[in-house]
Structure 1
Amino acid sequence: MEKRNRPAQTRRRLYFVTSQKLYEFNRGYKDKTYFCQNGADFNHFAPATNIFCDKPDDIRNIKGPVIGYFGAVADWIDWKLIKFLAEKNQFSIVIIGPLFKLREFPVKRENLFYLGEKDYGVLPDYLQCFDVCIIPFLKNKLTSACNPIKMYEYLSAGKPVITTDLEECRIETIKTSKTYQEFYDNITLCLNNDDAIQREKRIHFARQNSWMQRVRSIRSVIEPRLEQ
């Protein structure tokens, strides 16, 4: 049987990166690299703006105000910051997520509650109980290139969000903090001064940064090239 020579196929590669740091790192492929941040399933988390269902049993009786975090419980969290916040003894801190490269939960305080890993489907049930949400990450090479998905998930519910001074979190709707005391002060400020206008700004931002919007952005890059 005669073998036919097939024309070599030219592979056209496109790269999508989720942070400015990664975009700069890949500047050698700048004509093929596109900046597309993370997003969130807006409709999944938006109901948590208000108490929309029965509170889960393991958070129902935790005394408020509640400062909440969900995500990997890992070594990139600033556990000294968590200890500092807990020692202020002004609120309850609830942390949800799987242990990652940790044998046990690192900090123990009476007002600090580790609730373990939860299914993605019930995260809004817990988010509705948070008065303020936190992203307490260490600032290092790993987190400098991190665009946290949880940031958009928190904002989908209109929740105040306090972070350490992460480059990707320096946006109008979030309060970044350079010191432990500033982190605590920002929490206190949000607990005492939040209002409907600020919540709506956060929700609007999250809606504009949903996964649906991200898909539209990616398609606008890919589809013209497919036509070519």
Structure 2
Amino acid sequence: MNRRIVVISLETWDGVWRRNQYLVDGLLASDDDTEVLFVEPPTDPLYDVVNARVPRRGRGLRVGGYGGRLTLYQPTKALPRLAGPAADALLVRSVRRAVKKLGWTSGVLWVNDPRAAALLEVIGWPVLYDVTDDWVLADRGNREHARIVAGDGLLLERSEAVVVCSPALATTKGSIRDVHLIPNAVDVARYRIDRPRPADLPSGPVALYVGTLHEDRLDVDLVMRTAEAAHAVGGTVVLLGPNALSARNRERLAAQQGLVVLGPRHRDDVPGFLRHANVLLVAHVVTEFTESLDPIKLYEYLAVGRPIVSTPVAGFRDVTGVTVVSADDFPETVANDLVEWRQSGDHVVVPDWGDRVAAFSEVVDSVARERVSPGVGA
């Protein structure tokens, strides 16, 4: 009997892989009887119009590979969030239709987005809640925050299993119920292959940050001060990853001397950037939200053995070999490392995604054995 999983993801399935993609890839690669429906965030045509962008419909159902065992689904948001329950009901209904179209009547519902808690009632399958960020602590508007808190609470109460990625989440969510701690990792072998220097990496010494650019994590003022310090010694700060910053911060970074914003790159290209950087940066704000994180970049950075400079954030501050400094000392420390360039450090033992997939697979199987209530197939 096939193992069927519906993943409600916070990200689209694209060339920039996050935790969900690595785990799904591992589950599909290790078991030919596993099938996955990966539900991406919906497009929002009305929001596009309001923001002077070309409105775009979701791409619907499509085959995602693995011999047809991965199906991708991107719905279209028919109503704005202000419509409240009516908007949620339409999205839930669209996911239910996608599951029925595949002919699936049972399986595991894997929820990553706490705003999708309404699916618990409609799908009627046992639920695995994978908490990768504590969005309850993120800075959001009152309406959105209330919605996240409600969804998170319902999922913690009703899910058959809860998985968390960081010790901080194990403490906070574990105070409410039992949780499984499965941290992030890296494809170690892929990051240790020699690669040519990327053509769009600036010449000269480079201090590189890899990851989504977002005010929840990135200290924009610190990045700009670090770019000034790097420029003074002939170096460049490079930001590599999807840009989710506000329009104002995008403009500020674009005007900053000594700074290059390259945007996202395919996961296969990222190791080349890391291996040819002189210093790797973690210019993060220190907040309750960042305390909840287990950054994938920690494992990627360690895998390539380059010098790392970090603000005192969770994960990095406890790792031997990482230079952890305050925001005040950060720019000067990075500039000094660019001047005193050194070869790659010794490779340390870094957790591989293969180990995490095996642990996650055990949790999926335990959830699948739970009783299935009438839902999609009813």
TM-score w.r.t. structure 2 length?
A: 0.48
Give 1:143 shift. Answer: 0.8
- Measure, in 1, the Cα distance between the counterparts of 2:243 and 2:300: 20
**Is the CA contact 1:71–1:150 (under 8 Å) kept in the aligned structure 2?**
yes
Q: Partners of 1:185 and 1:69 in 2: how far apart?
A: 15
1:96 matched to 2:240 = yes
Q: Deviations over 1:65-120 (max 9, x none)?
A: 11001211111311111121122222211111121142225323332111122222
The one-letter amino acid of 1:111's match is G
1:4 equivalent in structure 2: none
Q: Determine helix, strand or coil for the equivalent of 1:87.
A: helix
Mark the CA change 1:71 to 1:224 in structure 2 (over 3 Å): closer, same or farther: closer
**Matched residue, 2:145:** none
Structure 2 counterpart of 1:135: 282
Rate the CA distance shift 1:127–1:193 in 2: closer, same or farther, 3 A. Answer: closer
Report the AA paired with residue 63 of structure 1. S
SS in 2 for 1:67: strand
Residue 187 of structure 2 corresponds to residue 57 of structure 1: no
Q: How far, CA to CA, are the matches of 2:190 and 2:237 in structure 1?
A: 23
Q: In 1, are the aligned partners of 2:187 and 2:353 still within 8 Å (CA)?
A: yes
* SS of structure 1 residue aligned to 2:204: coil
Would you say how many aligned residue pairs link Structure 1 and Structure 2? 207
Alpha-carbon distance between aligned partners in 2 of 1:195 and 1:141, rounded to the nearest angstrom: 35
* Residue 84 (structure 1) aligns with: 225
Asked if 1 retains the 8 angstrom alpha-carbon contact of 2:279 and 2:338, the reply is yes
Instruction: Please say if residues 92 and 113 of structure 1, whose CA atoms lie closer than 8 Å, have aligned partners that are also in contact.
Output: yes
Which structure has more relative contact order (CA 8 Å, sep 6+)? It is: 1
CA separation of 1:119 and 1:181: change in aligned 2, threshold 3 A: same
Asked if 1:74 corresponds to 2:74, the answer is no
Q: 1:158 to 1:112 in 2, by over 3 A?
A: same
Asked if 1 retains the 8 angstrom alpha-carbon contact of 2:161 and 2:367, the reply is: no
**In structure 1, how many angstroms separate the alpha carbons of the residues matched to 2:272 and 2:281?**
17
- Offset of residue 164 of structure 1: 1.0
Question: Which of 237, 243, 263 matches 1:116?
Answer: 263
Superposed counterparts of 1:11-30, under 5 Å: 13-30=160-177
- Matched with 2:185 is 39
How many Å separate the matches in 2 of 1:163 and 1:173? Answer: 11
Q: Is the 8 A contact 1:67 1:92 kept in 2?
A: yes
| TM-score w.r.t. length of structure 1 | 0.77
Q: Secondary structure at the match of 1:133?
A: strand
Once the two structures are superposed, residues 35-65 of structure 1 have per-residue CA deviations (whole angstroms, 9 ceiling, x without a partner) of 2211112222222xx4x22x33222xx2321
% identical equivalent positions: 19
Q: Look up the match of 1:214.
A: 356
> Aligned to 2:285, what secondary structure does the other structure show?
coil
Displacement of 1:227 in angstroms is 9.1
Q: Which amino acid aligns with 1:143?
A: T
5+ long unaligned stretches in structure 2: 1-124, 128-158, 371-378
Deviation at 1:215, TM superposition (A): 2.4
Deviation string 1:181-209 (CA, Å, 9 cap, x unpaired) is: 1453266358637456x4223xx2x2xx1
Give, in whole Å, the separation in 2 of the partners of 1:105 and 1:226: 48
Q: Choose the corresponding residue for 1:173, options 321, 333, 349.
A: 321
1:14–1:64: structure 2 CA closer, same or farther, 3 Å change rule?
same
User: Matches of 2:243 and 2:327 in 1, distance apart?
Assistant: 26
Tell me, in whole angstroms, the C-alpha distance in 2 between the residues paired with 1:58 and 1:10: 47
Q: Deviations over 1:129-177 (max 9, x none)?
A: 2111111111112211111101111211112222111122221132222
Q: What corresponds to 1:5 in structure 2?
A: none
Q: Is contact 2:165-2:182 (8 Å) kept? A: yes
The one-letter amino acid paired with 2:236 is S
Mean Cα deviation higher: 38-47 or 181-190: 181-190
